[in-house]
């Protein structure tokens, strides 16, 4: 009898994990109402599990993680938008997440792109305000609804970048300035310095002489196969209010769609005595206070190989 009792106890002990797992995998409730659940590109599995639990779609994230690993589905969960309900078991939810979401699609806007590079669906009047980001768009959205989604994101990020700024420029001027900065520098530090240089030029009535504005007006007059190619000396003679070699002040509108760092830099420029800058053949920014120093930088970092 003792031997039988020991075997019975052992069986019970072995069955406990199975029973617990079975219970843990059960649906949270019988509620069949769908709710949208978005998995972002590159999102970690632990983050997905936590959000499923927080949205009451699974009983516990650890049951979800265990099932994913034990079933070999770790690398098969796809980014997208899913419609899930509380009456689905954990294995059923995993199956949905590994077979693709709805027919919604992603729109990715890259920093520094002009409207034509993003989509022909939007007019040029939106230049500067299509905030660079990845957007998951429902397949039934109209162009106006897509623009509203992008505009809401722009408003949020613009407000964040504006915090604690003492800039005297209008919001429109900030976006124009940010669009120039976007095409002229890569790092936040460099963008803030260039913002300071361009503001210095504006304050003394000096031409901004930004090559990117010449690229913009040239490519607007004659749309090319590839945008933003280096300018030629003849391009500088093009008559246009966007020609910052011929006209003082900011151009009349943005030349691209700037990202957060460029907008932040426009609001928070580095206070500097520099008046000139170049990007050298070494891919580094080189600054100068005087024209002679600037010419020396050109000779050293651009003309020499």
Q: What pLDDT does residue 304 have?
A: 54
Measured CA to CA, the distance from residue 186 to residue 181 in angstroms comes to: 9
Give the domains, in start order, of the chain with CATH numbers.
Answer: 14-97 (3.30.1490.480), 105-155 (no CATH), 166-303 (no CATH)
5, 194, 203, 276 from 285: Cα distances, Å: 80, 10, 22, 10
104, 198, 287 from 274: Cα distances, Å: 48, 9, 6
Provide the 10 A C-beta neighbour count for residue 218.
23
Q: What pLDDT does residue 41 have?
A: 83
Q: What pLDDT does residue 14 have?
A: 54
Measured CA to CA, the distance from residue 296 to residue 285 in angstroms comes to: 14
Nearest to 48 by CA among 61, 35, 60: 61
* Helical ranges in the chain per DSSP H: 2-24, 45-54, 61-70, 90-97, 115-118, 143-162, 171-184, 188-204, 211-221, 260-267, 291-298
- Enter the tokens of residue 103: 């027919």
Q: What pLDDT does residue 83 have?
A: 86
Q: Is residue 202 classed exposed, middle or buried when 0-12, 13-18 and 19+ CB atoms within 10 A define those classes?
A: middle
Q: What pLDDT does residue 28 have?
A: 86
Nearest to 193 by CA among 291, 272, 92, 85: 272
How confident is the chain (305 residues) per 10-residue block, as mean pLDDT?
51 56 82 89 91 93 89 86 90 88 82 94 93 89 93 98 96 98 96 98 96 96 94 94 97 98 98 95 93 94 71
DSSP three-state, residue 11: helix
Q: What pLDDT does residue 1 have?
A: 47
Nearest to 172 by CA among 234, 250, 276: 250
How many Cα atoms sit within 13 Å of 287 on the Cβ side?
Answer: 18
Report residue 9: phi and psi, to 5°: -65, -40
């Amino acid at each position: 009898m003792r031997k039988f009792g020991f075997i019975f106890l052992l069986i019970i002990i072995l069955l406990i994990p199975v029973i617990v797992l079975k219970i843990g995998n059960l649906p949270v409730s019988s509620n069949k109402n769908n709710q949208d659940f978005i998995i972002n590109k590159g999102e970690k599995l632990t983050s997905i599990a936590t959000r499923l639990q927080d949205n009451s779609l699974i009983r516990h994230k650890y049951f979800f993680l265990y099932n994913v690993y034990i079933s070999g589905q770790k690398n098969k969960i796809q980014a997208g938008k899913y419609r899930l309900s509380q009456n689905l078991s954990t294995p059923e939810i995993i199956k949905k997440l590994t077979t693709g979401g709805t027919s919604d699609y992603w729109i990715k806007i890259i920093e520094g792109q002009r409207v034509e590079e993003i989509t022909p669906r939007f007019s040029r009047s939106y230049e500067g305000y299509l905030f660079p980001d990845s957007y998951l768009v429902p397949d039934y959205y109209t162009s106006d609804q897509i623009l509203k989604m992008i505009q809401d994101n722009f408003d949020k990020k613009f407000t964040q970048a504006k915090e604690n700024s003492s800039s005297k420029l209008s919001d429109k001027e900030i976006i124009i300035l940010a669009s120039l900065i976007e095409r002229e520098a890569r790092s936040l530090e460099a963008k803030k310095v260039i913002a300071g240089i361009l503001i210095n030029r504006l304050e003394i009535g000096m031409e901004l002489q930004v090559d990117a504005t010449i690229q913009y007006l040239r490519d607007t007059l004659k749309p090319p196969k590839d945008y933003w190619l280096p300018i030629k000396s003849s391009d500088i003679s093009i008559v246009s209010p966007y020609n910052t070699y011929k006209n003082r002040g900011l151009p009349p509108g943005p030349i691209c769609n700037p990202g957060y760092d460029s907008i932040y830099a426009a609001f928070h420029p580095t206070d500097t005595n520099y008046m000139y800058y170049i990007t050298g053949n070494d891919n580094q920014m080189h600054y100068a206070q005087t024209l002679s120093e600037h010419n020396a930088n050109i000779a050293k970092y651009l003309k020499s190989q």
